[in-house]
Amino acid sequence: MKTKIVFCALASLLLLAGCTGSQPAVTSLDELFATRRSIRAYEPGRTISEAQVRELLTAAQNAPSWANQQPSKFYVALSPEKHDAVLEMIGGNKDRVVNACAFLVCTFEKGKSGFFRGNPANDAGDFWGAYDNGLNNAYLVLKAREMGFDTLIMGMRDAEPLRALFSIPENEAVMAVIALGYRAEEPRMPVHRPLDEIVKFY
């Protein structure tokens, strides 16, 4: 009798787990850091929904920005037509990300971060917009990994064709294109520079 009760309880838990959808791929920040990698080969035939991309980008909005200006914007290629068009605008990465589920074109609004009353607050100027966009992207790729997805941030991109494809305004700087999908192979762990080469304590 006890065995039957235990079995029924386990079966109920499994059914509940199935109803809540897939669990996150990783569960701790350290694990996110250890498993997030730039992926250059993606599984074919997989999909990511608009709802999942919305969840991902909503989480990335928690990234800090200058005076909470939130200059980062995204143009998401989910449809086959836009997906294939973006493939022709990312240089040598095309063959690496052909099976990615989506592409996120990242921009930032110029003249916001790093500015006070319309004037640059310091010598960095619009570099602060790029800085804030990078912070946003860091949150994005970590959240993507937590959701079970993989990414590749691509700096090789043709800005003006992308601007035309998505009707991106001239006041936005086109930064990177991020591939989003599921890894087809496990990447190697890169060698990091010794900490004392990049840090000085005083």
From residue 51, how far is each of 17, 56, 70, 145 by CA, in Å?
A: 20, 9, 21, 16
115-140 burial, b for 16+ CB within 10 Å, e for fewer? beeeeeeeeeebebbbbbbbbbbebb
Based on the number of CB atoms within 10 Å of its own CB, is 11 exposed (0-12), middle (13-18) or buried (19 or more)? exposed
Tell which residue, 147, 182, 141, 137, has the closest CA to residue 26. Answer: 147
Q: What is the pLDDT of residues 90-128, one digit of tens each?
A: 999 999 999 999 999 999 999 999 999 999 999 999 999
Mean residue pLDDT of the chain comes to 89
Q: Which two tokens stand for residue 144?
A: 């993507």
Total-model pTM: 0.85
Give the domains, in start order, of the chain with CATH numbers.
47-185 (3.40.109.10)
Q: What is the pLDDT of residues 39-98, one digit of tens each?
A: 999 999 999 999 999 999 999 999 999 999 999 999 999 999 999 999 999 999 999 999
Q: Which two tokens stand for residue 57?
A: 């980008």
pLDDT at 24: 53
